[in-house]
Structure 1
Amino acid sequence: MKGKSADRQQLKNIAKSGLGVLLATMVACGDSLTSILMRLTKRGGVKDFHPVLTIGLSVLIAKKGPNAVQVLGMVLCVSGVAMVGVSMSNKSTNSLTALQRVLTLMYPLSACVLFTLCWVMLRWLSNRGVPLVTHMFYYSMSGIILLPLAYIADKPDWSLPLGTWGLLVAQTFAYAMQYLSNAAAIHNETIITVQIVKILVVPATHVLGYLVLGLVPSVLGMSGGTVVTVGATVVGLWACRLNLREKRRAELMESLAFPDKPGEHAEEFGTPLPDMKTD
C-alpha cells in the first residue's frame, strides 16, 4: 500500500510540474505575442490600460482583491494614460474606414489582455513555487518560437550601421533588465501594486524624450503624465506603508514569542511549574 501511495504522489508531482511548465510557456508566449501585436498598430500606449484588467484577473486567478487606495490610483493612472493617448492621436486615422479603426484598436486591446494575463499568471505561478529563472527560460524560448510571426509585423533589415547595432544590443539588455526587474517585483509584491506603479513609464518617457531627443510633449500630454505620476505615487507610498507596518508587526511578534510548551524554560528562572493532572 505504501508503494502505491508513493507512486501516486510521484505521478501527482509530475503532473503539477508539467502544468507549471505549460502555464509558464503560455505566459511567456503571451508576453512575446503582445510585443508583436503592439508593433502591428504602433499603439503601444493602449497596453497601459492593463491595471483595470489586472484587478479583475487578480480576483479570479490570484484571489487577491484591490483596496481603496489601489482603486483610486488605478482610476488616476488610467485617466492620465487616456489624456496622453488623446494627445498622441494621429490625424491620419481620420481617413480610415470604421472597420479599419476597429481592427487597429482590437490589436492593442488583445495585446493588453495578453499582457495582463502574463503577469497575473506569473504571480500565480510564483505562489506555487515556480522559480523566476524557470519562467525566464521559457520566456526566452517563446521569443524564438514566435519569431516567424514577427515577420508579419515588420520585415528585418540586417544591413545596419555599427552604431545602430550597438543601440539594438543596448536596447535588448535594457528590455531584459526591465523584464527581470518587473518579474522579481511581482514575486515580492502584489500584482496590482506593481502594474499600477509600472505606469510611471508614461511620464518617464516624456522626461527622457525631452532630455535625450528634445521632444516637447503637448499640454494635454504633460497633464496626463502628471496625473499618472500622482496616481502611481499614491499607490507606491501606500504599499511601502503597508510593508513597513507588516515588518514591524513581524518583529514585534518575534520579540514577544512565547515557548511552545509550558514550563519549557521555567528551570532557567528557578521556578519549575507544577504538573497539572486531570482525572
Structure 2
Amino acid sequence: MILPDMVEIFEVGPRDGLQNEPRMIATDQKIALIDLLSGAGFQRIEVASFVSPRLLPQMADAAQVLAGLNRVPGVAYAALTPNLKGFERALAAGADEVAIFGAASEGFSRANINASIAQSLERFAPVAQAAAKAGVPVRGYVSCAIACPFDGPTPVAQVARVAAALRDLGCYQISLGDTIGAGTPQSVRAMLNAVLQELPADQLAGHFHDTGGRALANIEASLDLGLRVFDAAVGGLGGCPFAGNAPGNVATETVVNWLHNRGFVTGLDPEAIGQAAALARGLRGSAGTR
C-alpha cells in the first residue's frame, strides 16, 4: 500500500499577514484569529514579531498576544526575533520557536533591516546561540530568493550561500521567499536546484506570493523537487512593503484545497480554516483598540 504524501502548511498570517496592515488591529482580534487557526490542525503558527515597536507598531502587543492565546497541545507558536533583545522578549513571552529573517539580495537587506547580508548574519549569530542554549528551535527566512525590487533577479548561487549560512547558524529549516511574486516554475526550479546542493529538501520550505496567479504552479514545481513544507497566510493576508503592488502571500485555504484535490494529506480542517479566513479578511483595514 502506498501512503499519500504529507505536506505541512506553516501558517504565517497572524505575523507576516497582519504586520503591514495600516490600521491598528486590536489584540483580542489577533488572538481570536490565532485561536481559530489553533483548532484547524496546524503544527506551527507564526503569531508575533518582537521587533522595535517604533519600527513596527502593529506588532507592539506581541507579548500580550502570546499571553492571551488558548494554546492547543501539539501546536508550536512561533515569533520573529531580529536581534538578541527581541529573542529575550520572545522567550519571556513563551514563544515555542523563533525565526530570523535574512535576504539573498543586498538591496533588500539594506532596505528591510538596514544592514548588508554579512552584517545581518553577524546580528543573527547571538540570537542563534542564545536559542541553542535555551533549547528553542530557530527557523531561517531568505527573502528575495527569486528577485529583488531593488537589485533585480537574484543569482541562485547567492540564495544557496545565504541558506547555507543560516543552516550553519543552527536553523533547523530555511524558508525560501519569493518576496515580490516574480517566480515562475522555471526560476523556482533553478533556484531550488542550487539550494539543494547545500541543504536537503526536508530542511527547506517554500514561501510564495501569488502575483500573476503563479503561486500554486511554483508550489507544484517545489513539490516535484521534494519540498513538503510551504508557508501560507489565511485569507491571503500580507505582502511586502518594499514590493510595490505585489499581492500578498498565497492564501492558506487555496493551498489546502489544491493539495487535497491532488491527493496530498495536510492534516488540516478546511472548514475551520474557512472560518479563520473569513475573520482574517474582515481584519483588513479594520480599526480597534488594545
Q: TM-score, normalised by structure 2?
A: 0.32
More strand by share: 2
Relative contact order, higher structure (CA 8 A, sep 6+):
1
Instruction: Output the TM-score relative to the length of structure 1.
Output: 0.33
